[in-house]
Structure 1
């Protein structure tokens, strides 16, 4: 009979572990929520919450401890305390405008840290190892059967799946064959787990599920899709498998590769060798199919760490007759894995590495000051994010910007870097994490947070080192693959973000708990009791303290259960909100705006702080003609996340149409601060400032004037300030220079106005308004021979060569213009046209190629270059240029027809 105080609910706990580690990493839907992986995230969180509730209820009923004793408890508590204090300090030291969004972002991060990280860590700590002395091999046969048989049954799915009869939830969720297959897989995984569950069985289940996901990802890489009607490849040919992002599954297998290799080294039976061999090759294939170089570095670091221990090397030597040819085959796969194009005899490894080294080949290339042709987006975008993260931390070195607030505030730091570094302007992103784990901690929690974080893992590392010294070689070796997994993940996340996402984060913290359990056996603290009559009083005091502490502990456990219940309800509502949001999103694309509003309002009622839903709701109100409601919804979107420039811009458009010019100006200024690369924002600001400057003195004030200035002067000053920045970002935009000159003229600063008009004329000589404004400014300044007007006259004379003038003289004039304005794009384009007309196609080709090298998006130059190739009969190069042209302008039917007509 079971003991009275024995743990109850072991079967339920096993089922929840199956949901977390088998179902969650594999289950996703493409037509249920806009994020296809939201259901797996919801299932993961709800199952973890339920598991912790089961443990808390048992501890409440005195059937075991809730938190096992560990040297990591104090560092973990300090880390959580620093995170909390960092957020609270940031919350009260920012303006009230940001606080709703800070609360929204902070809640998401807090739930992730508590549930996805530390709940998992302590759940792992409470799951004992079956092996007392080493990492015992679980029964491989049952997991091999599950992996191969259950995985193979999915090959039938395309032939037996049932089309969804309707668009309601259950029709899109349930398929008879798929549903029965899932029920069978869950049942098999549940029965394969022993009761009480042991670490080895959980690890085997994790590895089995990852093997299935990896095999599916490899099939994706070779364009074989089993589940969906079309191939899912949102990242080109980088396989996402069931994880939604190649960077996530690559990190997952980085952590499992050392475990697979370790188990394989100790495998004694054919079944075990087949199982772990299949897993190893599937993980390797998935890692290569992801094309994630940070994970390749992580895997390399993990294996260097793994084989740096003599006991592990000896384990491999014992089985070298099998392992040497096995790893030789693995090396062949590594070297000859095809590139993303799947060209024969290509190497994905060498192609991806050479792609980076060809750009990052000097110290000067490792900065944001590189020329455009040296920009390597994968690296320089990270550099942009790192620079912003560093600045966040510098703002408050002790506590950082506030834990959980990176995504919210990142755009406000990025904007200044985009303004100052031309190379970064095509790399603008909305980063949700720092892409470097050290900067992640520094930027949000400062030195205190980074210190507590390092304290936690240095304590674990110290325990691991001591464990290696005090244990026998075979025993010590059992902890090495767990530590190697963590080393690989940390190396990966020096360039990656996967630690902060649900499924890879789940595995990382489970393995952290497993390693902590291995090197720090759990302890239970008891008050010391003293014998004899003298210490009787002491014992009674201790008993009273223990009784009071017990009641406090039970109250805390009850609070944990309540938290788990409320958080589970929160996630259920989040999933329902995501379902209705996707419905509304699809109705918007069908132009059914009234129905879209209804669906999106349902989503809002379930959770009012989701930026994508609120933004889509605002857009639906705009399309439905409800501008007042649209303004409210844009405001709600900013309360969810105030870091999106497009929200401010769209809200300003609505406010401007409603006559709220001052509010619109503030919103546009915020938008341009976040994203200085959006020309329509400048145009809208110019309209507001111009209207204010032209308004009668007693008219309605559109923008708040600066202290001591009239509304007209304030508008002129604001316009001059904004557009003096704008022309630095858009130096070849004549309209920007014209608007800047206009605001300078309103300030009665004629020299600056004339200079702006002159610069504008040189970059846009066909702009008649600029020419007239320049002539007017020169006349008012009584300049008889204005150099910019003379330059314009010479340009017009050279342009005459295209319409029947002296072509040789026109070319000479173009050379004179270039001497006066070296590198002028308009003159270079004019000279290329003149050379083409003169029959010098080689010279024209050289000029056009140089223009495209400077600006690959210059379709005017590309059009001319493609035309030259056609004329020369070089149809292969013409085809290439027309193809690139259409990448920048896919709607150009004339060019598409011209491309199709090529022989």
Structure 2
């Protein structure tokens, strides 16, 4: 630290240096600002309830945003009392301001480029994104400017932080025995527990005491301690131990969510703290310090393994590699290699011996998780959406589906993208086309809220301009870091490197992750970004600028404080909405539709722009028979988010029942466009169009050509396609559609009749589809007459030769062969048929029976097990599986 800054630190308390000497009653401001920052850093990441809101972590988000808003209002109040703005200079103000302007421009351009129908949902989604960017990112960044760095980055003692984790965390072990059962359904009875409440009050008091000196290093230690507590809880979850709730929280299988609700969020949080734990560990000389920082490092490592989040493993590796790129860290290691060599070697072994999700002895979670999918993705062709089924790895190819859609969004408006905050709103409209074109990835259909790649996130929504400014921001940051590194002494370089490593690790993580766009990970990222840039900006003074016109300055600050108050109200309204929504959701599952409608309407009245609540409200109205209100609520759901196909479909059903056929038809078409895998949407379209087939035939043919491509084995869709082709007098196309349908379901009387009639109208005497049908009916007749003679089997062979891969022909010949005693031939035909139609349980049943007769119990067990997965309630199959001889 420079002599000048040391003088400042000696002559003025850190808090006064941050606010300037004109602050009035600064001790009070310090108390309250520290309290609300403690709420954001300590309470928000750890506190959650499982029976308060459907998303157990919504209280975290509300607390975080509200505490940040109140903290910023306190800063504004200090500005009013001091009659000055107190904001230090920062290298990132310009690129950050430019980024915000482009985000607003991109949305404005998108808003006026789309039809009026989409604008309410666009405004709803942009508001959500804008509030997040303003509060969770920008205000956090600005608050970080108000907290000074200590003259000595190292803490003199680790006992306080160590006691905080062990004592406060240890007292939660008593919670299962000392908690009081909830006395009712009221908010207070579910929210407050005497023992838990006292623990939280004690924890907040202890956290406030530990950061009372109000400097970056203490708040960083608070975040690190929170990371340690969350890591311990997450590790216990991984091994099936739950201390707080009645049941284990495992919404992602055995991947631990800790207190964050998603393994990808807690892992990203840890990635950013890991370089700091390592830096303090390398610098530690006393045993308590080594114990504390070593404990944090190992708990972080364990949490990363318990989360099984590979993107965060990449981020952690990038962060660790960044740290040891700098010679100060290599020298620190060499200075203390006797301890650190053994410690880091043990940490490396720990990575490999961490058990897999199954918790089987001698299994390795690291090798098992990293090896997933590698066998499928060894060729370049496997890295595309057109990969064959055996080469598809869900985790990668679903991201590829999202990235492709994001790329297409950006290409639509290369300069400004699709509009900031609108990714979730429009993503399904791009995904649908890809699902039509790439059959093998259709089961990966998803509703993506973000791009799962930070570059594609920016490009898709803000175009080249937004992405360029985003890259400029980090270019400015790291260019300043390199200048700072070259001009500073060893100690200052040493303590600056972890900030760079944390940012690099988080960005590397978010090349595959979305955690930068969720509350708690974003809080730490933007705080570190603010602190890092503050350090690099070289501004040690308070940045005080007295108001030339105090009245105008006070008015501006007052308006901003009112906006902060509005923001707190906004989040409290959303929290109440979530509470009422959860009540209504549970009422719906209890079939109390009237009660659900009442609770969900209260949720809507609290905050009316939440798609899930409005959709559930519409369903409740429909179930009680109030169709007009149901239609209205579906409309409100679409005004919240216009990207859900089920809303359009259900709204279409209601409108059809209300006699609003044209409106229903439009909604069915949108539903089918967004989700071309929804066959009922196409059927609903056909039901309406068939009433006026001549008028709409051309349009319907185009729709059902797409439908037939997605559902090539749906005889109803093929029959509809044939019908409307006939209405267009395209009899050849109609005959081909009927022919395809007959080969899919030769027992469909309407299809066979339509095929015969169309072939006769065209004068086709030797039509291949008719010939195939007649041969199929001949073999079927012989089988029904128990004719398994050579001529009968020869007829079955002739049928298969007409279309060797047709599963109906193969299954029919398999039945013939089985009856004739040729089980080997039957088995081969059934295996080939199941390749074409893997979900045909009748054919799988026959194959399993043949394996049993051959005493191939391993294969029989596999087929019976697969069949039971497809039909979980089939007791006969379950009995066959149980009766197989033991392995």
TM above 0.5, yes or no, is: yes
Q: Which moved more, 1:400-409 or 1:777-786?
A: 777-786
The answer to whether 1:411 aligns with 2:393 is no
Deviations 1:674-726 (A, max 9, x none): 00001111111110011233xxxxxxxxxxxxxxxxxx32x222221111111
Do the aligned residues in 2 keep the contact of 1:798 with 1:809 (CA within 8 Å)?
no
CA distance 1:520–1:858, change in 2 (3 Å)? farther
Tell me the equivalent position of 2:787: 805
Tell me the equivalent position of 2:849: 867
Q: Which moved more, 1:49-58 or 1:821-830?
A: 821-830
CA distance 1:800–1:586, change in 2 (3 Å)? same
CA distance 1:620–1:740, change in 2 (3 Å)? same
TM-score of the aligned structures, taking structure 2 as reference length: 0.94
The answer to whether 1:829 aligns with 2:849 is no
Q: Distance in 1 between matches of 2:83 and 2:829?
A: 81
Do the aligned residues in 1 keep the contact of 2:713 with 2:744 (CA within 8 Å)?
yes
Consecutive unaligned residues of structure 2, counting only runs of 5 or more, are 1-12
Choose which of 19, 26, 33 in structure 2 pairs with 1:13: 33
Q: Which moved more, 1:235-244 or 1:564-573?
A: 235-244
SS in structure 1 of the partner of residue 46 of structure 2: coil
Q: Which moved more, 1:827-836 or 1:78-87?
A: 827-836
Q: Distance in 2 between matches of 1:244 and 1:844?
A: 51
Do the aligned residues in 2 keep the contact of 1:801 with 1:807 (CA within 8 Å)?
no
SS in structure 2 of the partner of residue 673 of structure 1: helix
Deviations 1:286-310 (A, max 9, x none): 1111111111111111111111111
Deviations 1:798-838 (A, max 9, x none): 33464312265555444433433242222233334444444
Tell me the equivalent position of 1:697: none
The answer to whether 1:779 aligns with 2:796 is no
Tell me the equivalent position of 1:652: 652
Equivalent positions of 1:278-427 (< 5 A) are 278-427=295-444
CA distance 1:809–1:96, change in 2 (3 Å)? same
Q: Distance in 1 between matches of 2:880 and 2:712?
A: 33
Choose which of 166, 169, 174 in structure 2 pairs with 1:148: 166
Tell me the equivalent position of 1:755: 736
Q: Distance in 1 between matches of 2:833 and 2:244?
A: 46
Q: Distance in 2 between matches of 1:730 and 1:627?
A: 31
Equivalent positions of 1:579-594 (< 5 A) are 579-594=579-594
1:886 shift after superposition: 2.9
CA distance 1:76–1:330, change in 2 (3 Å)? same
Q: Distance in 2 between matches of 1:596 and 1:400?
A: 40
Tell me the equivalent position of 1:102: 122
Deviations 1:430-482 (A, max 9, x none): 00000000010000011111111111111111111101100112221211111
Do the aligned residues in 2 keep the contact of 1:359 with 1:374 (CA within 8 Å)?
yes
Tell me the equivalent position of 2:9: none
SS in structure 2 of the partner of residue 307 of structure 1: helix
Do the aligned residues in 2 keep the contact of 1:138 with 1:200 (CA within 8 Å)?
no
1:524 shift after superposition: 6.1
Equivalent positions of 1:151-550 (< 5 A) are 151-195=169-213, 197-522=214-539, 548=548
Tell me the equivalent position of 1:606: 606
1:858 shift after superposition: 4.0
Tell me the equivalent position of 2:556: 556
CA RMSD of aligned residues (A): 2.0
Tell me the equivalent position of 1:112: 132
Q: Distance in 2 between matches of 1:511 and 1:826?
A: 63
1:514 shift after superposition: 1.7
Aligned pair count reads 864
CA distance 1:171–1:811, change in 2 (3 Å)? farther
Do the aligned residues in 2 keep the contact of 1:56 with 1:66 (CA within 8 Å)?
no
Q: Distance in 1 between matches of 2:842 and 2:326?
A: 61
SS in structure 2 of the partner of residue 48 of structure 1: helix
Tell me the equivalent position of 1:569: 569
SS in structure 2 of the partner of residue 165 of structure 1: coil
Choose which of 697, 708, 713 in structure 2 pairs with 1:727: 708
SS in structure 1 of the partner of residue 753 of structure 2: helix
Choose which of 860, 867, 874 in structure 2 pairs with 1:892: 874
Q: Which moved more, 1:599-608 or 1:866-875?
A: 866-875
Consecutive unaligned residues of structure 1, counting only runs of 5 or more, are 528-542, 694-711
CA distance 1:621–1:189, change in 2 (3 Å)? same
1:651 shift after superposition: 0.3
SS in structure 1 of the partner of residue 82 of structure 2: coil
Do the aligned residues in 1 keep the contact of 2:810 with 2:832 (CA within 8 Å)?
no
CA distance 1:431–1:807, change in 2 (3 Å)? farther
Q: Which moved more, 1:840-849 or 1:25-34?
A: 840-849
Deviations 1:7-56 (A, max 9, x none): 34111111111111111111111110001100010000000101111111
1:877 shift after superposition: 4.1
Q: Distance in 2 between matches of 1:526 and 1:786?
A: 87
CA distance 1:807–1:688, change in 2 (3 Å)? farther
Do the aligned residues in 1 keep the contact of 2:118 with 2:639 (CA within 8 Å)?
yes
CA distance 1:63–1:837, change in 2 (3 Å)? farther
Q: Which moved more, 1:575-584 or 1:507-516?
A: 507-516
Q: Distance in 1 between matches of 2:300 and 2:542?
A: 42
Q: Distance in 2 between matches of 1:63 and 1:333?
A: 56
Deviations 1:720-765 (A, max 9, x none): 1111111111111222111100111111211111111111111222
Do the aligned residues in 2 keep the contact of 1:393 with 1:400 (CA within 8 Å)?
yes
Do the aligned residues in 1 keep the contact of 2:85 with 2:547 (CA within 8 Å)?
no
SS in structure 2 of the partner of residue 24 of structure 1: helix
CA distance 1:525–1:262, change in 2 (3 Å)? closer
CA distance 1:850–1:176, change in 2 (3 Å)? farther
Choose which of 773, 798, 821 in structure 2 pairs with 1:816: 798
Q: Which moved more, 1:863-872 or 1:337-346?
A: 863-872
1:393 shift after superposition: 0.6
The answer to whether 1:39 aligns with 2:56 is no
Q: Distance in 2 between matches of 1:817 and 1:218?
A: 60
Tell me the equivalent position of 2:667: 667
Deviations 1:334-392 (A, max 9, x none): 11211111111111111111112111111111100111221111011101100110011
